[in-house]
Amino acid sequence: MATGLDAPALAEFKLLRPAPGDANPSDPPGHGPRTAAFFDLDNTLIQGASLFHLARGLAAHRLLTGRDIARFGWGQLTFRVRGERHEQVESTRERALSFVAGRTADEMTDICHRIFDDYLERKIWPGTRALAQAHLNRGEPVWLLTAAPFELASITAVRLGFTGALGTVAETVDGVYSGRICGDVLHGPAKGEAMRALAEREGYPLASCHAYSDSANDLPMLNSVGHPHAVNPDHKLRHYAQEQGWPVIDYRTGVRLMRIGLPGSAAVGATAGVVAAGAALRRAGRRREATDTIAG
């Protein structure tokens, strides 16, 4: 299946690249920059759907009507209750593209910076952030892979100190959005294909890599790595993960952690993040303090 993510096109998605020599020569085999971690965004790294928060930001800048935001809000509610649906991702993407058509890329980038500051930052699951930071602390590249617009994905990755991001790329003509996309939406099989292309390009052996997602739609990504993790999983992914003996982490109704698969000090850091996440869920209004504690 063509994804628009061949070697030349993949260069468009690169955000940051570890500098030569970043690896610690004393790291044992399978550690350091050759081992990478791939994180989904919606309901894995953040609560709910990023496109809903994008819609809120567009509405704040008077690019959406009240009826538009209500439709996105309904999509957010069904996403939180039922999990991700392929047809929902497609329809939401089509609406989002129609809203940005005719806008400049610079304008959208500025809006996405504000969306992260105003909405996304406080929606980050502290435990998932701690898991990502544990990989970074071990010198391992961390990538964000999402169907969300690349502008929002890349800004999120930069703000969290990740290595880079892959996201759905909207076509621009002379710096203005056309209302079309380049390649496919980065979702389902396309996301798995993009991850494998990225791993091949960067020299990551997938057998030693980690991947984290909430949705069975991401099984093509999860099944491609040696260390898959189900985070806030939908029913289908939870059942599949339990059958396969994968780690399952759920922050929505308390904290459940099964064999997180990060050895040594990384496991300690990740576990601390999970504990902080549980505390934050029990104490409304203190999520930012929990996040700051983990980041420190």
Catalytic residue numbers read 40, 42
Q: What is the H or E stretch that residue 150 is in?
A: helix 150-159
Kindly give the pairing relationship between strand 248-250 and strand 227-231: parallel
Tally Cβ neighbours within 10 Å of residue 29: 9
Residues 273/133, Cβ–Cβ less than 8 Å = yes
For the record, the structure tokens of 97 come out as: 């593209």
The DSSP bridge partners found for residue 38 are: 143, 211
CA–CA separation, 229 and 244 (whole Å): 11
CA–CA separation, 279 and 282 (whole Å): 5
Distances (CA, A) of 257 to 11, 25, 32, 254: 36, 32, 24, 10
- Residue 264 amino acid letter: G
